[in-house]
Structure 1
């Protein structure tokens, strides 16, 4: 009996070591990609194109694509939503600043950009792997699914945009805001005294 346990542990030890080393290497490269959002999103775009081409050429797995679209829509809503919902905050008595004298609070997303990117990339990879199993190729009339997804997207985005307008927040940072500058002469404009 002890020999069987020893054999199983001797087989599992290298597997556990490999899993740990792979996890460390994966986390290392994930950490290195954090300050490179353009490169990350280009990589995700490449994965998405490969997935779309695979689905297009094998003419199947439309239900997987529909599920992927719903999941991405859900991620997008989290990415565009504030961490603390102003509707719930207004019920508690606290609200967003309405006057200049109120405290400034920056927009904090419910789903940060890095987590949004990571979840979206994983979703495309999982969907791509699912296309290799015929079990997931459920026959459906894909134009109906596409129309339904477009309607769902339009209604969801309309609701999100109305929420953004009502509570006056913009989920994107478009550079550093510059508030009214005072006009002062630059160093080159000042008169030079020669004596």
Structure 2
């Protein structure tokens, strides 16, 4: 299947998706319509991005569960136990890269198809939608970055192996 053969080509897949998104945006700009479709598409992509940046096992939820356990009469010994910071915990995404790409590509294709129908061309004042999306994006990403800093995780590895020691022998 074509999707299976495209799996190792991450860069090329994302270039194709970026081309589809550019085609969609060009369609919206040239036709001066379908702003609701564009807004819904942007919100969906923001939702996918957040799921991509978040860990599968959220440390804030684990801390809340431990606190709830103590409040409900759980084992008080759990309160004194702190996780070891030096312990290796790999970053596992809530939404893997493949699923992120596939969902983003499918959503973009559906958005392009929606611009074919006049039923989705609802007249709206687009600057309000743009301003609301920019505000939503800023608030959401600020919250996500604070969460990443608080729980000390970085969702990107930049393709480099971590090296230990000075390297001189």
- TM (norm. structure 1) is 0.76
Aligned to 1:140: 124
Q: Secondary structure at the match of 2:122?
A: coil
Structure 1: stretches of 5+ with no match in the other structure:
1-27, 185-195
Q: Per-residue deviation at 1:67?
A: 0.4
Size of the aligned set, in residue pairs, is 155
Aligned to 2:114: 130
1-side partners of 2:24 and 2:125: how far apart?
Answer: 19
2-side partners of 1:92 and 1:129: how far apart?
Answer: 44
Q: Per-residue deviation at 1:181?
A: 3.2
- Aligned mate of 2:165, from 172, 180, 183: 180
Q: Per-residue deviation at 1:130?
A: 0.3
Q: 1:96 to 1:124 in 2, by over 3 A?
A: farther
Aligned to 2:72: none
Greater C-alpha Rg = 1
Q: Per-residue deviation at 1:88?
A: 1.1
Mapping 1:32-111, distance limit 5 Å? 32-93=5-66, 97-100=83-86, 103-111=87-95
Aligned residues: CA RMSD: 1.6
Of the two structures, which has the highest relative contact order with CA contacts closer than 8 Å and spacing of 6 or more? 2
- Aligned mate of 1:116, from 84, 95, 100: 100
Alpha-carbon displacement from aligned partner over 1:46-66 (angstroms, at most 9, x marks no partner): 111111111111110000000
Kept in 2, the 8 Å contact 1:60–1:137? The answer is yes
